[in-house]
Amino acid sequence: MDIKKVLKEATKEIELSSNQLNLQNIKVAYLGKKGRITELLKSLKNLSLDEKKSVGAELNQLRSEVDNLIKSKFNEIKVEEINSMLKNESIDISFPPPNSISPKVHPISKTFDEVISIFGSMGYSVAEGPDIETDYFNFSALNIPENHPAREMQDTFYIEDKDKDGKPFVLRTHTSPVQIRTLLKEKPPVKIIAPGRTYRCDSDSTHSPMFHQVEGLFINKNANMGNLKGTLIEFCKQFFNVQDLKVRFRPSYFPFTEPSAEMDIAYEIANNKIKLGQGDLWLEILGCGMVNPIVLENCNVDTKNFQGFAFGMGLDRITMLKYGLTDIRSFFSGNLNWIANNGFSIGDF
Ligand code: PHE
């Protein structure tokens, strides 16, 4: 049994090895189940007790030497591989992404932009408020007192944390609290829109727990219902790009407007697509009315000199109508195929 010969050969093979796979094969050839050194160890059983002791010790020594040689060669090869990768590969961070990921603008983002631009052309500026509101701004200041049935109209998400009045914070159920925030900050005349996210416990093809509204508020000395209707009809003509749009105003009730109305747009469904502006079906797109003087007084507005109108429009609804989409939930599915088919190219934006 030439232990020295085995060690010499193994050492040479390990030295010459230049990649991990080859080295792994060498390891198997010497130390694997049927490897040379393993076989030698197995053959110990044929030796006498004395021989077993001395040869066994030598063989164990051989095994650990070969094992160490392989381990250190392994590290050497790894370092070499990393160095050559660093040398040969480079990342060009200015390289454009592959064509398959073409960026798209979400239909809701496009609607936001158009709504701001149409009302902007009518002289409205944009106001903002937080998604997480106090009970006072979302309800009480808007003449929706506690235990008022109007609070049931809006199934609400409450947050455990309490505001300074000891009431739980709410995810705003409408953009109307921005009316209050604006009137407390700005002296009339006021002419603002407030687009943003709103939340209610509701989910079906035309309701989503998170949805979008745009609030409108116009306060001056003599704004009236006629101005309100004219503004909304003009907006719809421009947004939907339809001149003879079939719309209707229905009398309604909101605690923060008096009188109140809801505006519906006519539509029909053909081939599973919404067709707009005609037909016998109606989709409610907004609530509106003359701002209730109680709300103005809550904001210290002089009601002898100022009055105005407000509206709250569902942006998801008008987006569905405009592009013939039938399920509001698809907007928020995060599905890349959906956005690839229904989104807009940056250039169209
Ligand atoms: N805030 C109402 C809603 O979400 C809509 C509305 C806004 C009605 C402004 C009248 C005036 O349903």
Give the tens place of pLDDT for each residue, 254-274.
999 999 999 999 988 888 777
Residue 157 belongs to a domain = no
Residue 195 belongs to a domain = yes
Query: Are residues 262 and 123 located together in one domain of the fold?
Result: yes
> Considering the entire predicted model, what is its pTM?
0.71
- How many whole angstroms separate alpha carbon 73 and alpha carbon 80? 10
Closest residue by CA, ligand 1 atom 7: 312
From 21, 55, 86, the end of a domain falls on 86
**Whole-Å CA distances, 130 to 127, 149, 154, 162, 255:** 11, 25, 18, 16, 22
Q: Supply the pLDDT for residue 150.
A: 63
Angle at 164 between CA 161 and CA 166, to 5 degrees: 60
**Confidence at 146, pLDDT banded by 50, 70, 90:** confident
* Binding pocket residue ranges, ligand 1, CB within 6 Å: 174, 176, 254, 257, 260, 287-289, 310-312
Query: Are residues 57 and 206 located together in one domain of the fold?
Result: no
Closest residue by CA, ligand 1 atom 12: 287
Span 27-40, average pLDDT = 90
Residue 113 belongs to a domain = yes
Query: Are residues 112 and 14 located together in one domain of the fold?
Result: no
Query: Are residues 57 and 122 located together in one domain of the fold?
Result: no
**Confidence at 78, pLDDT banded by 50, 70, 90:** very high
Rounded distance from Cα 216 to ligand 1 centre (Å): 9
Query: Are residues 82 and 112 located together in one domain of the fold?
Result: no
Query: Are residues 45 and 116 located together in one domain of the fold?
Result: no
Query: Are residues 123 and 71 located together in one domain of the fold?
Result: no
Task: Provide the residue range defining the domain that includes 231.
Answer: 107-128+188-331
What CATH number did the domain enclosing 212 receive?
A: 3.30.930.10
Query: Are residues 7 and 116 located together in one domain of the fold?
Result: no
Span 9-13, average pLDDT = 94
Task: Reply yes or no on whether the pLDDT at 349 is more than 60.
Answer: no
Q: Supply the pLDDT for residue 302.
A: 97
Residue 160 belongs to a domain = no
Rounded distance from Cα 330 to ligand 1 centre (Å): 24
Rounded distance from Cα 25 to ligand 1 centre (Å): 75
Query: Are residues 242 and 315 located together in one domain of the fold?
Result: yes
Query: Are residues 122 and 32 located together in one domain of the fold?
Result: no
Rounded distance from Cα 326 to ligand 1 centre (Å): 23
Atom of ligand 1 nearest to the CA of 287: 8
From 86, 115, 141, the end of a domain falls on 86
Atom of ligand 1 nearest to the CA of 260: 10
Residue 284 belongs to a domain = yes
